[in-house]
Amino acid sequence: MSAKREGISSDSAPEAIGPYSQAVRAGDFLFCSGQLPLDPESGEMVSGDLGQQTSRCLLNLEAVCLAAQCTLAEAVKITIYTTRLGEFPEINSAYGEHFSGGSPPARATVGVAELPLGASIEIDATIFLG
C-alpha cells in the first residue's frame, strides 16, 4: 500500500459490512467510513432510543480514531444520516454530550430513506491529523 494512503481498522469497532476500510489516512487527514449503531462485540444493532444509537455510532468512530492514534475530538467535519429526521433533538442531545467541551466540528445532518441493515442512523467523520 502506498505510504500516502493507509487503511485503518480497529477490533474495538464493528467490522466493515462491505468492501471498504473503517478509515483511510491520507496525508494530514483521516477519513472515517460511516458507523452504524452496532455493538462491536455482538455485531448486533443496539436497542434503545435514537440518542443511545447516536452515542454508539460516536463510540464506534472514536475506536477507529484511536486505532489511527487520534481522537474524534480532532474531527473537522461530521455527517449524520438518519431515517428519522423528526427525532433530531435526540440526535442533537447525544451529539452535544459527546462534544461538550471545546469547539465542536462542522456538521451536516441529512434525512435519508434507508440505511444499511435497517439502521436509523449512520455517522461518518473527517479528522485533521496535522
Give the tens place of pLDDT for each residue, 81-126. Answer: 999 999 999 999 999 999 988 889 999 999 999 999 999 999 999 9
In sequence order, what DSSP letters do the residues of the chain get, joined into one string? Answer: --TTEEEE--TTSPPPSSSS-SEEEETTEEEEEEE-SB-TTT-PBPPS-HHHHHHHHHHHHHHHHHHTT--GGGEEEEEEEES-GGGHHHHHHHHHHHT-SS-PPEEEEEE-S--GGG-SEEEEEEEE--
Q: Is the pLDDT of residue 59 over 90?
A: yes
pLDDT digits (tens, 9 = 90+) for 28-43: 999 999 999 999 999 9
In CATH, what class is 5-128?
Answer: alpha beta
Judged against a pLDDT cut of 50, whether residue 61 lies above it is answered with: yes
pLDDT of residue 47: 86
Q: Is the pLDDT score of 2 beyond 80?
A: no
